[in-house]
Amino acid sequence: MNLKIEGATILTMGSGGAIKDGTIIVENGQITDIGKSSQMRHKYPRLEKINGKDKVVIPGLVNTHHHAAMSLLRGYADDIPLQEWLEKWIWPLEAHMNGHDIYVGAMLTAVESILGGATTINTMYHYTSKENEAKALAESGVRGVVGHVCFSRRKEHDRKALKALAQTWHGKADGRLRVSVDPHATYTVDPEYMKELRETTTELNQKYGSSAQPITLHMHAAETADEPKKIKKAFNVPLKGGVFEYLESVKVLQGDVVAAHCVHLTEKDIKIIAKKGVKVSHCPVSNLKLGSGVSPVPKLLQSGATVSLGTDSSCSNNSSDMFEVMKITALLHKGINHNPTLVPAEQVLRMATIEGAKALTWDRQIGSIEVGKDADLVIIDFKKPHLSPLFSETSHLVYSAKSSDVDTVLVKGRVIMENRIVNTLNVDHILRLAQKTKERLLSKLRE
């Protein structure tokens, strides 16, 4: 559908800067023109119009670290020590999750994401060929990178799953879906397998990907302080430096790697991240909730690294709310470094949009509002008490706006939510499915 958004304040997050009373023209899924409404009105008189009065348009938010299916476990277990949380709570329940459950969980995350203006989700979970996260994201209308998570303990299974995932889903759903190779973490994937997964990424790219549409690599790294110890213990490798020194030594690091967390880094790790072009997914809510610590984001930014934002799963967050992650990112580094000038609002908004797109090597298509890019647009209603009065749209978006202020969402030109009504899915049906699935999982535990 072709349309125009007229009379809004547009934060392009690109070369166009901010445009007051601006108009965006969307044709065939792309942004074909942008400018002041006064100069655009006569040019496109017949296009269907979305009224942008009292609204602000930003690029769709990019959530660079998630496990979409795990929203089924939202609030299932909190405030518990990490190892107990995993071993006694999360893993036993996850063991009962089948393909349909994964599909339902991912659907729930997709709905929540749409309602909160996150149009792209980078998700790492178990791929099953029957039903899966990719199917859910495809149906929901959002954009996503869907990975299959790999462990040393199940290489054969992983090899098949990765191939099936790439073959079935890469570039599909009108190009809204991409796939990734996801080594779970440094201490669960042995050095040889890590190298193999790098080669697998290359091979899958040769077969199914392209430089314009690459298959990426998504992993957890440097999440907890004891990670170097865990690597040493698991693989008996001589490890003296930080986690990224180790990852460099196994030759997995390139510009296509999205490394989630990056909390415990040495100075040398930071240099390696910047030099190799590794993309950081900063997940402050999850890192705080699990007691992992705080990523040295100001240092990473200073080093020139690409730092994007992720919610992590709704199991350790417990929501998929990128507005919340933006605010907490802006607050946290100021607070713990005793410096109110660090990580200012404009930078945070970049992290959630254009830097997120860069993190997923998808910035040719998304991340900013520019002619030629796909129309992934989020329209935010600013006529709210908590967004009044208005001095700065950027300040309000980071420090005051809530996901519930998102009014309308477009992905690749398609209006997937309008006036907070999701067009692509039956939300009530998904809520019923989620509750039913939760009950089935709990009953399995009791068996």
Shortest distance in whole angstroms from residue 258 CB to its own copies: 22
287's tokens: 């890192």
Instruction: Provide Rg for the chain, Cα atoms.
Output: 21
Shortest distance in whole angstroms from residue 404 CB to its own copies: 4
Shortest distance in whole angstroms from residue 44 CB to its own copies: 30
70's tokens: 């795990």
Of 298-317, binders to its own copies (CB under 8 A) are 314, 317
Among the listed ranges 11-19, 31-39, 76-84, 411-419, the one in contact with its own copies (CB under 8 A) is 76-84
Of 201-240, binders to its own copies (CB under 8 A) are 225
211's tokens: 């430089």
In the shown chain, the binding pattern of residues 133 to 152 toward its own copies, with x for contact by CB under 8 A and - for none, equals --------------------
Q: Is 166 in the site for its own copies (CB under 8 A)?
A: no
Of 251-290, binders to its own copies (CB under 8 A) are 284-285, 287-290
Q: What is the DSSP string of 321-364?
A: -HHHHHHHHHHHHHHHTT-TTSS-HHHHHHHHTHHHHHHTT-TT
Q: Is 112 in the site for its own copies (CB under 8 A)?
A: yes
Q: Is 99 in the site for its own copies (CB under 8 A)?
A: no
What are the beta bridge partners of residue 280?
259, 307
Shortest distance in whole angstroms from residue 41 CB to its own copies: 25
Judged by CB, which is closer to its own copies: 258, or 441? 441
How many residues in the shown chain lie near its own copies by CB under 8 A?
72
Of 322-361, binders to its own copies (CB under 8 A) are 324, 327-328, 330-332, 334-342, 344-345
Mark 350-388 as b/e (b = at least 16 C-beta within 10 Å): bbbbbbbbbbbbbbebbbbbeeebbbbbbbbbbeeeebe
Q: Is 127 in the site for its own copies (CB under 8 A)?
A: no
Rounded to whole angstroms, the Cα distance separating 51 from 379 reads 10
Q: Is 435 in the site for its own copies (CB under 8 A)?
A: yes
Question: Dihedral (C-alpha) 150, 151, 156, 157: value to the nearest 10 degrees?
Answer: -60
What are the beta bridge partners of residue 121?
63, 144
Q: Is 399 in the site for its own copies (CB under 8 A)?
A: yes
In the shown chain, the binding pattern of residues 358 to 397 toward its own copies, with x for contact by CB under 8 A and - for none, equals -------------------------x-xx-xxxxx--xx-
Task: Yes or no: say if 73 and 368 are a contact pair by the CB < 8 Å rule.
Answer: no
Displacement of CA 187 from its chain's centroid (Å): 23
